[in-house]
Chain A
């Protein structure tokens, strides 16, 4: 149980275009989802916390107008990278927690999306 599905797994886009990444909790409801970014040979860094039905909370240094997050339902959060540039090329991973259990429960991660901007 507790499967998080993320799509697409890999995307290549041209500079200036926008890319949408979907994160779905397949067999549970998630009031909160988290978006992480990982550059090569580095650790995962939290970008934003996505809350169902409300605005996302962004970490310091993350541009909210560039990384649009929508969490319209208890099973789906989307991250849109707007006007992508080569420096946005990275590995993006989402995670979610089973809503019922609240804070004292593990986070479940998707398989990630490798974005390459040419």
Chain B
């Protein structure tokens, strides 16, 4: 099946700093989503971005489908941004369509 690699695995930031989270995937995709999982386990859907660039407030994301990677940018980080960020992809090929998650990036924003 499709492989999803996220980097770095852990990230510590000072409040106000910017960061870039990366997601590499091994096959063509028709779905790519970025999620933020809060301390209560709730998955917050940040972006649906199989290709192109999107922005939502301090967050933006870019997916370069031909090169099989996606980037999530966080600007002016806040303590509430802490948590685990997951990239999940759905392969364009294969008989069974399913969303495969990366291992996640644990972000800690210090005040």
Which A positions have Cβ atoms within 8 angstroms of B?
34, 36, 38, 42-46, 49, 57, 91, 93, 95, 103-109, 111-112, 114
Which residue, of B41, B50, B104, has the highest number of chain A Cβ atoms within 10 A?
A: B41
Smallest Cβ-Cβ distance to A44: which chain B residue: B101
Q: Is the interface of A mostly helix, strand, loop or mixed?
A: strand
Bound CA span A108–B86, Å: 14
**Interface residue B28 (Cβ < 8 Å from any Cβ of A):** no
Bound CA span A64–B59, Å: 40
Question: How many residues of B are counted as interface, with CB atoms below 8 angstroms from the partner's CB atoms?
Answer: 23
Bound CA span A108–B43, Å: 9
Please give, as numbers and ranges, the residues of chain A lying within 8 Å of B101 by CB-CB distance: 36, 43-45
Please give, as numbers and ranges, the residues of chain A lying within 8 Å of B43 by CB-CB distance: 93, 109, 112
Smallest Cβ-Cβ distance to A45: which chain B residue: B101
B41 near A112: Cβ-Cβ < 8 Å: yes
B100 near A46: Cβ-Cβ < 8 Å: yes
Bound CA span A36–B30, Å: 20
